[in-house]
Structure 1
Amino acid sequence: MKMKKFLAVMAVVSMTAAMAAGCGSSEEEGKAETTEASGETDASFDSANDISVTSREDGSGTRGAFIELLGIEEKDDEGNKIDNTTEEANITNSTSVMMSTVAGNEYAIGYISLGSLDDSVKAVKVDGAEATEDNIKDGSYKVARPFNIATKEDVSEVTQDFIDYILSEEGQEIVSDNGYISLDDVKPYAGSKPEGKIVIAGSSSISPVMEKLKEAYLKVNTSAEIEIQTSDSTTGMTSAIDGICDIGMASRELKDEEKEQLKATVIATDGIAVIVNKANPMDELTSDQIKEIYTGEVLAWDELN
């Protein structure tokens, strides 16, 4: 009998312990779910760590527009433009590499075309405004630039027909559908659909939407052939000047020396999103703070005022 009582008591103790453990586990799981559902950032983020500044390569139209709009580029006494981007910056050579770099480093900051933004990173507000199409249109989000294509004065019939398609209602609908700001007062495409090949070269920021425009145009004009060579804005302009390509792409305004040799056409407006890692609690920066980060005046996240 004593043995039976002992076993019974041990069984009750075991059940009680199991229930307590299960309850504790449920509570912990509930806390984890609550934290995840609330969208809180990673508690391990240490704002005392150095900011990992990430920028684009020389020749990038996105870099050119970014440093100009944020005051990182300044003119010396002789009028020469000086890029004051910190020498400590990590340099990436494309939009996709920029995004993966920031997504993989919780202390990183970078910038990309708004049309390329996805949920792998977080876009911060700049001067209180979100990077959205409406805010760019009304001027509250000021970090924006034109998407230009550039050609020689005389172009082939098929090149002109494709440009006409880009600037048409159909082409501008593709621009808008892909997250960029389309042109106003456009008309339906009414081209002649000529035969021939077009070579397009330049900006990696424009390439994604240009691929979509190419795909749609080739369904309309099956006699055309289009090759897109992705590089950077400066290479695109140089290639157009040298006759290596028919159309150059530049995600910035053309330089004076480029304007002397090429005809520029704006095909869209694009915002530049300032991005951080999703674990970063920072949701907003001022233009001055971004400038201080990229010129190396501010080195750690907790130095931002």
Structure 2
Amino acid sequence: MKSQKEIIMRKMRKRILSVLLTAVAATTLLAGCGGKDEGKKAAGEDITVVSREDGSGTRGAFIELFGIEEKDSDGNKIDNTTTEAMITNSTSVMMTTIAENEAAIGYISLGSLNDTVKALKIDGAEPSTENVKNKTYKIVRPFNIVTNEKKLSNQAKDFMKFIMSKEGQEVVADNGYITVDDKASAYKAAGAKGKIVVAGSSSVTPVMEKLKEAYTALNKDVKIEVQQSDSTTGVTSTVDGVCDIGMASRELADSEVKKGVKPTVIAQDGIAVIVNKKNEVSELKSDQIKGIFTGEVISWGDVK
């Protein structure tokens, strides 16, 4: 059993490391360069927790699915993510951070997973499209597009029609996500013209870019601008009329729906918990993930 003094000292060292790593990540993001060893730490005692920013749909879904978010006595939702977590502002920065730090753990959209990081089994289930479909991998959330029906342009309506069509759902499947309608009707171009602005979740953005590419190939007179931010910004921008279609990688809150926007699920996506490829850990249980991200578990030695 570790003494209270040892735990406090570890947390102090971890806090200092988190500050340094945040500075390194910010420098890498802005400058687009840096040595491969920057931010790297041998996977040993201390765990470096990496989370997403407030407003991220991936963070919202992650903390809900793992019970990191809890309600207080007044029914208010409380995010118990450790204050020592390093915060990243996009899927790509999350993956870069994990790839450069041997002690780090984070989470991303399953559809964005690549070989620069290692995805962990959760409760014995491999994170895969197949396991999401057969419901053995349960860390799953919806990809929503958000619209204000009263302000939706004809070209935006047509793009939505394409997304939910046979061709659109094939794009979803081809990019590693789970379709919501395997019997969708074929799309027929109707001569749409104009500009469409889509804004929001960085997790939804990759598949939206592919949908944009497929749609504009069939509709040469439509220009689609995809603006990457986060789910909350996507919803707010739709409410305010800044964009035609918002992107949210989570369920919408009742308070958001009451503002006049409508969510439409276009795909299902797993959330992959990721570590550095050199990390010896390959599987964790849900309660271990919760313990790590709430700061109750601070050592890799406690989960190996």
Query: C-alpha separation between the residues in 2 aligned to 1:218 and 1:80?
Result: 43
Q: Residue 43 of structure 2 contacts residue 102 of structure 2 at CA under 8 Å; is this kept in 1?
A: no
Contact 1:45 1:106 in 2 (8 A): yes
For residues 43 and 199 of structure 2, what CA distance do their matches in structure 1 show?
42
Q: How far 1:137 sits from its partner (Å)? A: 1.2
Q: In 2, distance between residues paired with 1:237 and 1:149?
A: 9
Query: Matches of residues 15-34 of structure 1 in structure 2 within 5 Å?
Result: none
**1:284 is matched with which residue?**
283
TM-score w.r.t. structure 1 length?
Answer: 0.84
How far did residue 191 of structure 1 move? 3.5
Q: Distance in 1 between matches of 2:128 and 2:47?
A: 25
- Contact 1:164/1:191 (CA < 8 Å) preserved in 2? no
Name the CA distance, whole Å, in 2 between partners of 1:186 and 1:268.
13
- Which letter maps to 1:235? T
Range 190-199 or range 212-221, more displaced? 190-199
Q: Residue 290 of structure 1: CA displacement?
A: 0.2
The offset of 1:153, in angstroms, is: 1.6
Match of 2:74 in 1: 78
Question: Which residue of 172, 178, 184 maps to 1:175?
Answer: 172
CA contact (8 A) 1:124 1:275 kept: yes
Match for 2:153: what amino acid? S
Of 46, 51, 59, 1:55 maps to 51
Structure 1: gaps (5+ residues): 1-43
Superposition map of 1:96-245 within 5 A:
96-154=92-150, 155-184=152-181, 185-245=183-243
Identity rate, percent: 64
Greater Cα radius of gyration, structure 1 or 2? 1
TM-score w.r.t. the length of structure 2 is 0.84
Separation (CA, whole Å) in 2 of partners of 1:146 and 1:193: 30
- The runs of 5 or more residues in structure 2 that have no matched partner are 1-40
Distance in 1 (CA, whole Å) between partners of 2:125 and 2:83 is 29
Q: Matched residues in 1 for 2:193 and 2:302: separation?
A: 59
SS of 1:135 mapped into structure 2: helix
Contact 1:161 1:193 in 2 (8 A): no
Indicate conservation of the 8 Å contact 1:153/1:263, yes or no: yes
Matched, 1:92 2:91: no
- In structure 2, relative to structure 1, the CA distance for the partners of 1:46 and 1:181 (3 Å cut) is closer
Match of 2:280, SS state, is: coil
Give CA-to-partner distance per residue, 1:49-74, whole Å, 9 cap, x none: 21000000000000000000000000
Q: SS of the counterpart of 2:83? A: coil
Q: How many residue pairs are counted as aligned between the two chains?
A: 261
CA contact (8 A) 1:202 1:248 kept: yes
Map Cα deviations across residues 214-260 of structure 1 (whole Å, 9 max, x no partner).
01111100011111110000000000000000000000000111112
Whole-angstrom CA distance in 2 between matches of 1:139 and 1:291: 21
- The structural deviation recorded for 1:45 is 5.0
* Counterpart residue type for residue 73 of structure 1: E
SS of the residue 1:266 aligns to: strand
